[in-house]
């Protein structure tokens, strides 16, 4: 920051003799050249171009007070000049120039340097005597510098922003030599004079260079000064200024100060010790920066300045030393900075030694390793890194049948690897690529088990039931045995959670003697997880399928793709679309991974997918898979699973034995009915484990030695029952009918309730004719179920008019249909026949038959259409104590596939029209049945 003007000083050139320089004002434009015009009042310089003012002797402190306003960017300032305070030294003995004056002899301390002229004799003063200065001083440029301040008697290189030319500088900077004043500031741009410190340094410019937009100055500091304000003066003639100088009177103000010899010695010792331990600062260079022939330790002022200048302290800490007027305090501050610098220097040296030792150790280890490599190479014990890598890759391929087009790629990459530098990034990329290519199981297959008996035993060992899945696997083995070779298939097991879809896949792999690999695609949004990343990306790697082949080391593993119905879609692509190529038998023999970029044969892989529902699976993907339903378990199946699998396994895991702990079949049956009604056995496993944990605690704590869990003490281990009532109505009243529904957790019973909202409007007519009734529907029903209710209401009206012409219940009746539970969303058309039956029961005020349940979609003409989930619905009906169920006629084929223990004890009716269903649910209405 270059601030011109505003500092008054008396300049005398040796060639011109004593003279004065009038104040001049200059302005510069631009954001970085902020120009301020004002005037420091009455500051004398004892060193100006090698000569001294004849009117002035050496004084130690000159006080200046400025009153007036300050302004920046060309603002005019007007004020009155009072006084400025300088700090110097006047001593009897050796004297100093700059801040202390020039070296001189004589006990009085009179000026004897320079031309020796002393026309003005000042009073006797001590070394630290303050002095009042007259109110006259000519103009001196003011420069604001950032970072570290300039200390007196030190040489420094300063760069200031100036976009003009050297010829355009103010005349005060063109003197020989010019003298300026420096003030320190915190920032590079001075927006206001408030940002500048109040204490600065008078410096002498020895050299100035034009750097274009900057000026480089080599300056030497002479003395401190402080200002309190800027002021304008109208004195522009040299004569008037000289007159004021001649009329000035000096007033001596003696301030006694204690000696600080011990402090000076301490400072000197610290500085000297730092010179010994630090190689960064040389005392010779410091002495060269100061005037020759002087002992720094003899003067406390220069000693403190030198100590502060040698440190790398912060700018504000150095400025604090510069502003300190009390010499002992200044010495203490300099000592504090030196000690801090000394401790920092020791820390840096210690860290440097540690780093150097570590580097030397690493370098020594590297040299020894390189020498060892050369020695082994000369002895033939070791080959080059590239040769060893190539030999390792080719060794992998010896026992494998690599396709010809794959071998061409491998040879090409090996040749490329031999030409690359070991330390290049391309070398690592190529090496990793070859590592994946050579790790693939080209032509390697595991020997499959084609014995049906062995496979059936393995499947029965791990899972109970699941006949459809087991039959399909046995069929696969039979086909492979007849063909003499195996081919891959794509199967999809779907069903409620906890029924064993994932665990059966591991058993299938064991039965077929195939390697097993599982990965889940639930929530996957990145196609690269399946097809890999391209090699150009950092950290690229193949997809899951290639990773599977490398891990299993065979071309015919069993791959389980779990949760295929929950696959996601993101901005990286649609993974379900990427599965189309993977799961297509016509394409996966030539599967192309983005990373390998070579075709891979997946036709021998047996893919098994799992899903809870099939609705969310994309249709093209569902079309490529063979769908196999894995339905839930009934109570008898759960009991068998618990006795045969869960109880022995969990008892062993809890550290118990059959002698100390046992759960009776009745307790398991009660546990299934009142705590675990879901389709799977996952919750049953948790409850059984909970029982064994509590039993283990009782045995270890010494409460009991052996525990027998029975229905009487079951609540002590699992808490209160969750399901206490199997059905909402033991006997259904008129207007209430039990239906059957399917959920993701399995089948359940669903009651349809109907009731009158208000009395019928009998005989009431409006302007358009008789008033019609209404139907209110509640129970959080979906759109399909609401439409089914409207269809059922219309058909019930028509059916009742034909069945009982005299019954006009639906004319003017305001009905309410509700499906509990209200918090559970419900949707689907399978409750159509149930709604019709409930409306007719309400209209005729006749309850339906005891323990009857039904399901089926009804059309507007009364046809009963087929529905799904027959097994789950049948299981739910039997669990609820239903003895008679009515199903659509087209679902007879589904019911015939059910095991006998499910259908045992059930009366089943298959109907294709509601007229056949009506006499079953209303047997007492048989004489009134409409003949259709």
Least-confidence region, from 122-136, 419-433, 557-571, 774-788: 122-136
Q: How far is CA 8 from CA 45, 65, 135, in A?
A: 10, 13, 10
Strand partners, 596: none
Do 672 and 686 meet the contact criterion of CB atoms below 8 Å apart?
no
Spell out a b/e string for 135-144, using b for 16 or more CB atoms within 10 Å of the CB, else e: bbbbbbbbbb
Closest by Cα among 894, 844, 834, 836 to 860: 836
Tell me if the bond preceding 36 is cis, omega within 30° of 0.
Answer: no
CB 567 within 8 A of CB 522: yes
pLDDT digits (tens, 9 = 90+) for 271-289: 444 444 444 444 554 555 4
Contacts of 509 (CB under 8 A, 6+ apart): 515, 516, 557, 558
* Cβ pair 99, 222 in contact under 8 A: yes
Could you report the per-residue pLDDT of 716-757, keeping only the tens digit for each?
999 998 877 667 888 889 999 999 998 766 678 899 999 998
The single-letter DSSP state of residue 746 is E
Percentage of residues of the chain with pLDDT beyond 90: 28
Residue with tokens 């110097």: 88
Inter-axis angle of helices 914-921 and 832-844, nearest 10: 50
Residue 282: the pLDDT is 43
CA 112 to chain centre: 75
pLDDT score for 276: 47
Q: pLDDT digits over 55-85, tens only?
A: 333 332 322 323 233 333 233 333 333 333 3
Say how many CA atoms lie within 13 Å of 307 toward its Cβ: 33
Measured in residues, the chain has a length of 932
User: What was the pLDDT predicted at 196?
Assistant: 76
Active site residues: 830, 873
Question: 636, exposed or middle or buried, with CB in 10 Å at 0-12, 13-18, 19+?
Answer: middle
The pTM of the full predicted model, rounded to 2 decimals, is 0.57
Q: Is 498 annotated as a binding residue?
A: yes
Residue-wise pLDDT for 843-859, tens only, equals: 999 999 999 999 999 99
Q: Is 130 annotated as a binding residue?
A: no
Residue 432 pLDDT class (50, 70, 90 cuts): very high
For residue 469, give the nearest of 441, 445, 492 by alpha carbon: 492
Beta bridge partners of 814: 758, 774
Who's near 297: CB < 8 A, 6+ residues apart? 264, 268, 303
Counting Cα atoms < 13 Å in the Cβ hemisphere of 439 gives 15
Q: What share of the chain is helix, strand, coil (3-state, %, to 5)?
A: 40, 20, 45
pLDDT number for residue 642: 93
Beta bridge partners of 816: 755, 776
Task: Kindly list the structural domains of the chain, giving each domain's residue range(s) and its CATH number in brackets, ordered by start.
Answer: 2-252 (2.30.130.40), 261-347 (1.20.58), 385-439 (no CATH), 452-627 (3.40.50.300), 635-718 (1.10.8.60), 736-762+770-928 (3.30.230.10)
Asked whether residue 178 is marked as a ligand-binding residue, the answer is no
Q: How far apart (Å, rounded) are the C-alpha atoms in residues 216 and 207?
A: 8
* 500 carries a ligand binding annotation: yes
695 neighbors 661 (Cβ within 8 angstroms): yes
861 in a known ligand binding site: no
For residue 497, say whether it is annotated as part of any ligand binding site.
yes
């Amino acid at each position: 920051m270059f601030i011109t003007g505003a500092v008054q000083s008396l300049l005398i050139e040796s060639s011109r003799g004593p003279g004065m320089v009038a104040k001049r004002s200059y302005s510069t434009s631009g954001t970085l050249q902020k120009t301020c015009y004002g005037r420091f009042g009455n500051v004398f310089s004892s060193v100006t171009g090698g000569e001294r003012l004849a009117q002035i002797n050496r004084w130690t402190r000159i006080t200046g007070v400025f009153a007036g306003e300050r302004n920046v960017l060309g603002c005019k300032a007007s004020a009155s000049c009072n006084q400025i305070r300088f700090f110097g030294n006047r001593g009897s003995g050796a004297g100093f120039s700059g801040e202390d004056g020039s070296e001189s002899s004589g006990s009085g301390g009179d000026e004897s340097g320079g031309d020796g002229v002393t026309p003005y004799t000042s009073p006797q003063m001590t070394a630290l005597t303050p002095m009042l200065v007259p109110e006259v001083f000519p103009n001196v440029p003011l420069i604001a510098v950032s970072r570290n301040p300039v200390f007196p008697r030190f040489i420094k290189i300063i760069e200031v922003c100036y976009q003009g030319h050297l010829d355009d500088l103010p005349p005060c900077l063109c003197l020989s030599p010019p003298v300026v004043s420096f003030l320190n500031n915190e920032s590079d741009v001075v927006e206001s004079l408030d940002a500048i410190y109040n204490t600065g340094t008078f410096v002498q410019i020895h050299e100035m260079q034009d750097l274009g937009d900057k000026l480089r100055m080599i300056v030497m500091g002479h003395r401190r000064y402080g200002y309190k304000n800027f002021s304008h003066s109208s004195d522009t003639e040299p004569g008037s200024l000289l007159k004021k100088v001649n009329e000035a009177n000096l007033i001596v103000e003696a301030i006694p100060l204690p000696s600080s010899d011990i402090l000076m010695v301490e400072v000197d010792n610290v500085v000297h010790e730092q010179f010994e331990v630090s190689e960064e600062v040389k005392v010779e260079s410091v002495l060269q920066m100061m005037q020759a022939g002087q002992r720094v330790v003899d003067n406390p002022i220069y000693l403190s300045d030198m100590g502060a200048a040698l440190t790398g302290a912060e700018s504000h800490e150095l400025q604090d030393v510069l502003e300190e007027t009390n010499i002992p305090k200044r010495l203490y501050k300099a000592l504090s900075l030196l000690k801090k610098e000394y401790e920092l220097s020791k820390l840096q040296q210690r860290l440097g030694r540690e780093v150097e030792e570590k580097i030397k150790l690493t370098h020594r280890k590297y040299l020894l390793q390189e020498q060892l490599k050369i020695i082994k190479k000369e002895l033939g014990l070791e080959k080059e890194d590239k040769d060893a890598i190539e030999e390792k890759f080719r060794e992998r391929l010896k026992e494998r049948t690599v396709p010809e087009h794959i071998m061409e790629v491998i040879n090409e990459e090996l040749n490329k690897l031999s030409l690359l530098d070991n330390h290049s990034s391309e070398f690592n990329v190529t090496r990793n690529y070859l590592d994946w290519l050579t790790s693939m199981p080209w032509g390697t297959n595991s020997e499959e088990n084609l014995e049906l008996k062995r496979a059936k035993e393995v499947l029965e060992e791990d899972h109970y039931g699941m006949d459809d899945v087991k039959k399909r696997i046995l069929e696969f083995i039979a086909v492979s045995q007849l063909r003499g070779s195996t081919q891959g298939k794509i199967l999809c097991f779907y069903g409620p959670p906890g029924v064993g879809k994932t665990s059966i896949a591991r058993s299938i792999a064991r039965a077929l003697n195939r390697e097993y690999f599982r990965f889940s695609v639930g929530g996957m949004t990145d196609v690269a997880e399946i097809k890999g990343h391209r090699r150009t990306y950092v950290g690229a790697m193949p997809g899951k399928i290639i990773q599977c082949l490398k891990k299993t080391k065979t071309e015919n593993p069993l791959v389980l793709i779990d949760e295929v119905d929950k696959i996601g879609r993101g901005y990286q692509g649609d993974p379900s679309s990427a599965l189309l190529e993977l799961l297509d038998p016509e394409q996966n023999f030539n599967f192309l991974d983005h990373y390998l970029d070579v075709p891979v044969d997946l036709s021998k892989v047996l893919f098994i997918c799992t899903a809870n529902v099939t609705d969310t699976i994309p249709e093209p993907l569902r079309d490529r898979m063979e769908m196999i339903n894995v339905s839930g378990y009934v109570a008898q199946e759960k009991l068998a699973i618990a006795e045969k699998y869960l109880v022995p396994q969990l008892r062993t895991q809890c550290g118990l034995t059959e002698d100390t702990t046992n759960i009776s079949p009745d307790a398991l049956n009660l546990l299934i009915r009142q705590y675990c009604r879901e389709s799977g056995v996952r919750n049953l496993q948790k409850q059984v484990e909970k029982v064994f944990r509590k039993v283990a605690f009782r045995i270890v704590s010494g409460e009991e030695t052996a525990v027998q869990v029975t229905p009487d003490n079951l609540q002590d281990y699992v808490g209160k029952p969750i399901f206490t009532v199997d059905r909402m109505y033991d006997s259904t009243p008129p207007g209430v009918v039990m239906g059957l529904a399917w959920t993701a957790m399995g089948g359940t019973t669903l009651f349809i309730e109907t009731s009158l909202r208000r009395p019928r409007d009998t005989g009431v007519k409006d302007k358009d004719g008789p008033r019609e009734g209404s139907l209110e529907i509640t129970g959080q029903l979906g759109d399909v179920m609401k439409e089914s209710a409207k269809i059922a209401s219309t058909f019930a009206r028509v059916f009742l008019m034909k069945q009982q012409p005299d019954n006009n219940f639906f004319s003017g009746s305001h009905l309410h249909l509700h499906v509990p539970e209200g918090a559970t969303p419900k949707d689907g058309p399978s409750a159509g026949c149930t709604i019709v039956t409930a409306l007719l029961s309400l209209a005729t005020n006749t309850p339906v038959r005891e323990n009857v349940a039904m399901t089926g979609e009804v059309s507007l003409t009364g046809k009963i259409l087929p529905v799904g989930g027959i097994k789950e619905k049948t299981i739910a009906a039997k669990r609820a104590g239903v003895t008679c169920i009515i199903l659509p006629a087209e679902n007879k084929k589904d019911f015939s596939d059910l095991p006998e223990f499910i259908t045992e004890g059930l009366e089943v009716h298959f109907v294709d029209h509601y007229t056949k269903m009506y006499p079953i649910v209303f047997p007492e209405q048989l004489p009134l049945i409409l003949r259709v």
